[in-house]
Amino acid sequence: MDNLGFTVAAYVATFTLIGAYTWSLARRVRRARRGRSWP
Amino acid sequence: MAIERLGKLAGLVALPALAGGLYLGLVWAPPDAMMGDVQRIMYVHFPSWIATGLAYLTAFVCSLLYLVRRTPRLDYLAHAGVEVGVLFNATGLITGSIWGRPTWGVWWTWDPRLTTTAIMLVMFAGYLIVRAFIEDPDARARVAALVGIVGFVNVPIVYMSVRWWRTLHQVQSSPSTVHPDMVVALRVMMVTFALLACYLMTRRYELARLEGEAERAEAAPHG
């Protein structure tokens, strides 16, 4: 892996984590709004 | 809720800022004379720590205020701060590790800066675990506030670690020693990550508020 590969890996890791958290949070908020968190 | 509307605004501003910041960091700013393109990791590594600090500071202030005022919304915001802080704490450690391999020759070393940031992640992950184990909302908020305050003690230690114990990790850079184009790219990404942290904290706050309201409604005696 050359230097550019490390750079790409760092950006991909960062935005994958942030994206996954954002998506998961949006889903949890939608569920809570529908009142399904406590069946 | 005003805080939730502000958070949505932060999210809306963060998107074009992120596009601009990525262009500045990956295309516009020059490669480092010694490290080449791998130095561009700085534009996500350092902003991750800005977002981490902002989120943990929010948690610390709200935890302190909660112990004084006992307002559930302060507990919700503290919880949001810790969860978002853990996210950016993780991205900071991961990008640092990826940067460390080509520059230091290792993915990880027990350097004081790395060690204190790892301890910080574990302590705040512990905060989230503690919350999950306490059922009573008031007791949970009280204990969590104490853990949040104790956990924050490590934050200034992390900041000062590179000055107190000078080993492998560099001390804080000064903008006067960095190419001006790099400074612009870094500042745009710092603001972007701070906005992202604000957006995510307000979404997490909204979730905690909805969950808290449902929990209290369920616990209230039915007429």
CB B35 within 8 Å of CB A1: no
Q: Are A28 and B94 in contact (CB under 8 A)?
A: no
Evaluate if pTM is beyond 0.95.
no
Q: Using one digit for the tens of pLDDT, what is the confidence trace for B89-115? A: 999 999 999 999 999 999 999 999 999
| Cβ within 8 Å, pair B99-A26 | no
Condensed to tens digits (0 to 9), the pLDDT of residues A15-26 reads 999 999 999 999
Contact between B204 and A25 using a beta-carbon 8 Å cutoff:
yes
Residue A14's pLDDT is 98
What's the confidence (pLDDT) of residue B23?
Answer: 97
B91 touches chain A (CB under 8 A): yes
Residue from B50, B55, B47 nearest B22 by CA? B47
Is residue A38 pLDDT above 60, yes or no?
A: no
Q: State which residue of chain B sits closest to A16, comparing Cα positions.
A: B91
Question: Hey, is the C-beta of B201 within 8 angstroms of any chain A C-beta?
Answer: no
Provide the percentage of residues in chain B whose pLDDT is more than 90. 81
B41 part of contact set with chain A, CB < 8 Å = yes
CB burial of B28-42 (b: ≥16 within 10 Å; e: otherwise) equals ebeebeebebbbbbb
Answer whether residue B220 shows pLDDT above 80: no
The pLDDT tens digits for B52-96 are 999 999 999 999 999 999 999 999 999 999 999 999 999 999 999
Alpha carbon distance B41, B37 (integer Å): 8
> What percent of chain B lies above the pLDDT cut of 70?
99
pLDDT in tens, A4-14: 899 999 999 99
Query: Could you give the CA distance from residue B209 to residue B193 in angstroms, rounded to a whole number?
Result: 24
Cβ(B45)–Cβ(B169) below 8 Å: no
From chain A, the residues in CB contact with B41 under 8 A are 6-7, 10-11
- B210 contact residues in A (CB cutoff 8 A): 29, 32-33, 37
Residue A2: pLDDT band (50, 70, 90) is low
pLDDT (tens digit per residue) in B136-178: 999 999 999 999 999 999 999 988 888 888 888 888 777 778 8
Q: For residue B223, name the pLDDT band (cuts at 50, 70, 90).
A: low
CA pair distance B78, B73, nearest whole angstrom: 9
Question: Would you call B41 and A38 a contact, using CB atoms and an 8 Å cutoff?
Answer: no
More confident residue, A2 or B117: B117
Nearest to A29 among B48, B206, B215 (CB): B206
Compare CB distances from B200 to A11, A14, A25 and report the shortest one's residue: A25
**pLDDT given for residue B158 in this prediction:** 87
Give the closest-approach CA distance of B174 to chain A in angstroms: 23
State the complex-level ipTM.
Answer: 0.91
User: Is B95 close to A38, i.e. CB distance below 8 A?
Assistant: no
Please report residues of A whose CB lies closer than 8 A to that of B37: 3-4, 7
pLDDT at B161: 84
pLDDT for position B74: 97
